[in-house]
Amino acid sequence: MTVVVTGSASGIGAATSNALRAAGSEVVGVDLRDADIIADLSSSEGAQSAVDAVLDRCGGVLDGVVLCAGLGPHVPDPRLIIAVNYHGTVALLDGLFPALQKGANPAAVVVSSVASTHVTWDENPIAAGGEDAALAAAGEYGGALAYAWSKNAVTVNVRKRAAEWAGAGVRLNTVAPGSIDTPLLQGGLDDPRFGEAIRNFTAPIPRRGTPDEIASLILYLLGPQAGFVHGAQFMIDGGVDALTRPTKF
């Protein structure tokens, strides 16, 4: 099984790459550094160059795609957060779809976030392409908004592809982690705007998740046991979603 993993150099992407290799898959990692394919997914040119390099390397045939590359709310430029988390992710998804259609039992998993539920698509400025104007009004917490909008948009865009992708024989799901111990989370903890709130919030399971726990769910979703699982979002958050939105699912 040949699987592309973006964000493979760190955190959830690295754990997923390791787990896939341990299970016998061939992994093609894509990242800014320390990867098989070095690409910057924050621009359409960078995303296209990643797609071209992946297709070249795998001969136009892929069995799995896992899109982990992303930036956290603490990153100073909120536009960059939307560029990587949303535009770059969707560009890879669509660019690699033809190769997945030629794969064996093909499936893709996109790493979204519990933050995808912090806004609705109706109030998400990305829906109408109005994110720049909305960010101009957002002030110092623009990064948190950009993060929630980008993750909401990515989940919506996965769900909107459910009919077309199933028709082509390719399964597609999202995972939505809560706080997971990675450099991205550490960036938030170190940021005076967000650190205290992250530290003070306790999930029903009172610890942070590990990248390996997310990797386990991703491997399940890629595999044959998940053959009827499609267009779904899986919360993996120690119970945060159930705690904060018990009536919404």
Catalytic pick among 86, 141, 147, 220: 147
* Neighbouring residues of 200: CB distance < 8 A, sequence distance ≥ 6: none
* Residue with smaller CB distance to ligand NAI, 31 or 63: 31
212's CB contacts (< 8 A; 6+ apart) are 15, 19
Give one DSSP letter per residue of 175-239, joined into a string: EEE-SB-SHHHHHHHTSTTTHHHHHH---SS-S-B-HHHHHHHHHHHHSGGGTT--S-EEEESTT
- Shortest distance in whole angstroms from residue 52 CB to ligand NAI: 15
Residue number, 76 or 167, with CB nearest to ligand NAI: 76
Q: Which of 54, 58, 111, 126 contacts ligand NAI by CB under 6 A?
A: 111
Looking at beta carbons only, is 170 or 218 nearer to ligand NAI? 218
116 interacts with ligand NAI by CB under 6 A: no
- The 30-69 contact track toward ligand NAI, x by CB under 6 A, reads -xx------xxxx-------------------------xx
* Nearest Cα residue to 134 out of 79, 76, 197: 79
CA-based angle 115:121:125, to the nearest 5?
Answer: 95
User: Which residues, listed in sequence order, are joined to residue 5 by a DSSP beta bridge?
Assistant: 29, 66
Contact 244, 207 (CB under 8 A): no
**Calpha distance 48→25 (Å, rounded):** 24
- The Cα–Cα gap between 175 and 215 comes to 10
Q: Is 86 a catalytic residue?
A: no
Q: How far is the CB of 157 from ligand NAI (least distance, A)?
A: 14
Provide, rounded to whole angstroms, the least separation between the CB of residue 152 and ligand NAI: 12
Number of residues that bind ligand NAI (CB under 6 A): 27
Establish if 177 lies at the interface with ligand NAI (CB under 6 A): yes
Instruction: Output the smallest distance, CB 40 to ligand NAI, in A.
Output: 5
Could you say which of 59, 130, 169, 183 contacts ligand NAI (CB under 6 A)? 183
Residues within the interface to ligand NAI (CB under 6 A): 7, 9-13, 31-32, 39-42, 68-71, 84-85, 111, 113, 177, 179-180, 182-185
Catalytically active residues, by annotation? 147
